[in-house]
Each structure stands twice: as C-alpha cells, then as structure tokens.
C-alpha cells in the first residue's frame, strides 16, 4: 500500500503540491521560451532572406542587362541553372534570386526591361504558395504586371512564361490550379511553356525523384530536361 507524501511546508503547503506548482510554472516558462525562440527564428530567417535578396538586387544594379541579352528570371530554381554553360552560343544572363516571389520580381523587373533584352524566360510563383502564402489571384496579377512591364520595353522582348514546377504532393492542387490561371491570364502577351508535365510524377502529383532531391529544387538531370524543353526557343542557339 503506497503512502501519500504528507510532509508539510512551514507555511502549511504539502510538499507534493509544491512540486506540482513548481513543475507547472516551469512548463509555462518553457512554453514561453519555445514560443519566443520559434518567433525569433522565423524573424531571423525572414531577415536573412531579405538581406540576401538585397545583396543580389544591388549587384544586378551594377551589372545591367544589355540589348539583345537573353534573361532567365525567377527564384532559386532559376538561380541554380548554369544557363550560360547550357547555352554557350547565346548572350545569357541569370537573374534568379533564391527565395524570391512574384512581389520581389515585380519590384526589380525594371532592371530587366530597362536593358531591352531580346528574350525573357520567367518562372515564378512557387515561393508565393509557401513562404509568402499569396492567394492565386494575387500571384497571377503580379505575373501579368511583370509581363506588361517587360513588354513595355522598346524594342519589345519575347517573353516566355514557364509553368510552376511540381513539388511535394501536398502542393499538387494549388500548383496545377495556379498554372491554369497563369496560362489563361498571359495569353496573347507571352508564350506559355508547360514544363510542369515534364517533371510530374503522375502517381501522386509530386515532382519526380530523379529530377529533385528535396521535392523542390532541381538536380542536374532536371536542368537537362528544362534545357531540352526550351532549346528551340533560345535565339542564336542551334
């Protein structure tokens, strides 16, 4: 038969109640620290992404686009492509920035349009669905405005809007819906390139494992598929 601890604190509190009270307070303090740490970590990550974006934008400001250039514009998926090596006979410029969203591209699109490039290959929207949590209508509106600003350059560049690629299966519905909306919205103003179908695992809607090692970014094999899909559209390249 167990014995209940009944020793009393000098002020009259049973020891077992004191222990429960201390434990409960420690739990509250611990939870508060966890909430603070989580929030601080998120703020730190957002700040890190913001500073990295600023560094890229200011660098691009010093290295302006020139008339006749072919520009790859987008987020980290574009940034990761060795475009100049993939298209060595063309004047290619990589203007992808890791973590970028349609808002970010819209804010810096003047750097592209002011240089009067010959072609622009745009892919943006994946981070809008995740990091920025933008609505579909907001993303599409931004992309339409990006295209319009590019097309306002004289001489007008050929603008190619490339579909958002598959990622984890949980994103399947949103990605596919977004691609349909973008394709409809830019019709008549830009060339639509459906890369999505080339990377799709039709069994679950995720990106195929052979093309990505993190369900988002591309491996070398993935970039070769992308290269093959657009090769015929690259000016000055056989």
pLDDT digits (tens, 9 = 90+) for 173-213: 999 999 999 999 999 999 999 999 999 999 999 999 999 99
Section 3-18 average pLDDT: 54
Beta-ladder partners of 8: 14
- Mean pLDDT score, 40-60: 78
The CA radius of gyration of the chain, in Å to the nearest whole number, is 26
Provide the β-strand partners of residue 200: 207
Question: How large a percentage of the chain has pLDDT more than 90?
Answer: 73
Tell me which of 24-38, 47-61, 109-123, 135-149 is least confident: 24-38
Per residue in 85-142, pLDDT (tens digit) is: 999 999 999 999 999 999 999 999 999 999 999 999 999 999 999 887 899 999 999 9
pLDDT exceeds 80 at position 53: yes
Q: Is residue 26 over pLDDT 90?
A: no
Backbone angles phi, psi at 162, to 5 degrees: -95, 140
Q: Quick check: helix, strand or coil at residue 12?
A: coil
Alpha helix (H) ranges present in the chain? 15-62, 76-79, 83-86, 102-108, 110-113, 126-129, 136-151, 172-186, 196-199, 220-230
Mean pLDDT of 218-226: 98
Across the range 14-41, mean pLDDT stands at: 62
Q: At what angle do helices 172-186 and 136-151 cross, to 10 degrees?
A: 40
Pairing relationship of beta strands 119-123 and 158-162 according to DSSP bridges: parallel
Which tokens sit at 204?
Answer: 């679950």
Residue 41 has pLDDT above 70, yes or no: no
d(CA 84, CA 66): 15
203 token code pair: 């069994």
Name the DSSP class of 207: B
**Whole-number pLDDT of residue 22:** 62
- pTM of the predicted model over 0.85: no
What order do you get walking across the sheet with 92-96 strand by strand? 92-96, 70-74, 119-123, 158-162, 191-193
């Amino acid at each position: 038969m167990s014995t209940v601890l009944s020793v009393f604190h000098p002020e009259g509190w049973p020891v077992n109640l004191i222990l429960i009270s201390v434990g409960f307070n420690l739990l509250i303090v611990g939870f508060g620290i966890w909430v603070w740490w989580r929030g601080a970590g998120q703020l730190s990550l957002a700040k890190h992404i913001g500073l990295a974006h600023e560094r890229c934008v200011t660098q691009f400001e010093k290295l302006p686009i020139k008339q006749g250039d072919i520009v790859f514009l987008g987020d980290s998926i574009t940034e990761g492509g060795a475009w100049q090596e993939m298209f060595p006979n063309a004047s290619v410029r990589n203007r992808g920035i890791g973590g970028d969203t349609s808002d970010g591209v819209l804010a810096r699109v003047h750097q592209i349009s002011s240089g009067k490039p010959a072609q622009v290959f745009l892919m943006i929207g994946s981070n809008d669905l995740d990091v920025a949590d933008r609505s579909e209508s907001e993303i599409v509106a931004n992309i339409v405005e990006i295209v319009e600003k590019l097309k306002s350059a004289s001489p007008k560049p050929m603008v190619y809007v490339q579909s958002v690629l598959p990622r984890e299966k949980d994103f399947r519905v949103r990605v596919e819906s977004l691609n349909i909306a973008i394709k409809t919205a830019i019709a008549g103003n830009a060339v639509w390139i459906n890369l999505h179908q080339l990377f799709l695992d039709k069994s679950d809607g995720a990106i195929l494992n052979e093309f990505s090692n993190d369900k988002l970014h591309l491996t070398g094999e993935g970039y070769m598929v992308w290269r093959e899909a657009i090769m015929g559209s690259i000016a000055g390249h056989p």
